Amino acid sequence: MIQFTSDQKPLTFLLDQVDNRDLALPDFQRSFVWDPGATRELVASIVRSFPAGTLLLMQGGAQVFAPRAVEEAPALNGQPSFLILDGQQRMTSLYQAFSGTGTHRYFLNLQELIDGFDVDDAQPAGAAGSQIVGDYALPVSRDLLNVPLLRRPHHDYPAWDLAVPIGTPVYATHRGTVIAVTDDERCGRGLVIAGLDGGRYTYCHADAVTVARGQVVAAGSQIMRSGNTGRSTGPHLHLQIHSPAGSLVCPQDLMESWYAGRAAGPSTAPTTGCTS
Ligand SMILES: [Zn+2]
């Protein structure tokens, strides 16, 4: 006889069951296919205390279907009590995110939550967006960058240009306050962020600035969509960084550090060697 019951289980209980090889998949389930952005959104919604959703589990299912372990969970060594008939992608993504297995890692910046940021700002964009290193982040998705692009010299003064299609999300490279949103002939639509490190970060040629003057932004949070406004000969992002002492430094050196996973700030960055 088949009976259906519904009850609420804490996520930790279910994750433990996966770990203890008591909750598994029937072998006909397809492979885990979620992209990291979907996992990130799910983790953020759980952090806000929303339920993880519903699962359809079959008790004793391993007597009917051949079982296999959730991907990245310990290999089965007996018959699991439950098989996941529906909700497999969600459960696998949560298992991998909370157990630190799988190909991506997810982080919450607790300091930013303590400082009153919303979860959206405190979730480093990770694989779905910018790469975060301490209080610093790459200005565009890591996928759009490589070392030669990061090292490209600027035409006549220390700054950095990156050709990107109009509409590319641009992220704050450092935590700070938006002190100006500009729209002028030279920079076009752009903004200036006064960094917590005392540096000043200027972004130009946006299609649209997505933050307001006075707003506090976290490293890696989106601040604009790139464009081709102002004095620009093609769609690109222009970034320039002033040190706390007020001199233009080479963004190239800083970004190469962040790209390599090392935090570095403008007070120690070189001021020459990045112009052509
Ligand atoms: Zn430029």
- The pLDDT tens digits of the residues spanning 160-177 come to 999 999 999 999 999 999
159 and 85 in one domain?
no
225 and 120 in one domain?
yes
127 and 63 in one domain?
no
Quick check: 125 pLDDT over 50?
no
Residues in the chain: 276
pLDDT at residue 30, as a whole number? 86
159 and 50 in one domain?
no
Q: 186 C-alpha vs ligand 1 centroid, how far in Å? A: 10
pLDDT at residue 128, as a whole number? 44
Quick check: 255 pLDDT over 80?
yes
Work out the average pLDDT over 66-85.
Answer: 94
Q: 170 C-alpha vs ligand 1 centroid, how far in Å? A: 15
What is the Cα–Cα distance from 117 to 219, expressed in whole angstroms?
Answer: 12
Work out the average pLDDT over 218-233.
Answer: 93
Q: Which of 30, 64, 99 is the last residue of a domain?
A: 99
Quick check: 137 pLDDT over 70?
yes
Q: 231 C-alpha vs ligand 1 centroid, how far in Å? A: 9
Is 275 contained in some domain? Answer: no
Neighbours of ion ligand 1 (CB under 5 A): 159, 161, 238
Quick check: 123 pLDDT over 70?
no
198 and 159 in one domain?
yes
Q: 146 C-alpha vs ligand 1 centroid, how far in Å? A: 18
Q: 239 C-alpha vs ligand 1 centroid, how far in Å? A: 7
pLDDT band at 94 (very low <50, low <70, confident <90, very high): very high
> What is the residue type of 49?
S
Q: DSSP H helical segments within the chain, as ranges?
A: 11-19, 36-47, 88-99, 110-114, 119-122, 147-151, 251-259
Contacts of 64 (CB under 8 A, 6+ apart): 58
217 and 134 in one domain?
yes
Q: 2 C-alpha vs ligand 1 centroid, how far in Å? A: 68
Q: 128 C-alpha vs ligand 1 centroid, how far in Å? A: 26
Q: What is the pTM of this model?
A: 0.58
215 and 123 in one domain?
yes
Quick check: 127 pLDDT over 70?
no
What is the Cα–Cα distance from 99 to 12, expressed in whole angstroms?
Answer: 11
Bridge-based pairing state of the strands 67-68 and 23-26: antiparallel
* Structural domain boundaries, residue 19: 11-99
Q: 81 C-alpha vs ligand 1 centroid, how far in Å? A: 61
H-run or E-run covering 133: strand 132-133
Q: 120 C-alpha vs ligand 1 centroid, how far in Å? A: 30
Q: 261 C-alpha vs ligand 1 centroid, how far in Å? A: 25
Q: How many domains does the chain fold into? A: 2
Proportion of the chain above pLDDT 90, given as a percent: 64
Q: Per mean pLDDT, which range of 40-49, 114-123, 203-212 is the poorest?
A: 114-123
Is 104 contained in some domain? Answer: no
Bridge-based pairing state of the strands 169-171 and 248-249: unpaired
pLDDT band at 126 (very low <50, low <70, confident <90, very high): very low
pLDDT at residue 121, as a whole number? 60
Q: 15 C-alpha vs ligand 1 centroid, how far in Å? A: 49
pLDDT at residue 106, as a whole number? 77
Q: 154 C-alpha vs ligand 1 centroid, how far in Å? A: 6
What is the Cα–Cα distance from 37 to 133, expressed in whole angstroms?
Answer: 19
Per the CB < 8 A criterion, the answer to whether 130 and 259 are in contact is no
79 and 21 in one domain?
yes
Per the CB < 8 A criterion, the answer to whether 171 and 191 are in contact is no
Q: 213 C-alpha vs ligand 1 centroid, how far in Å? A: 22
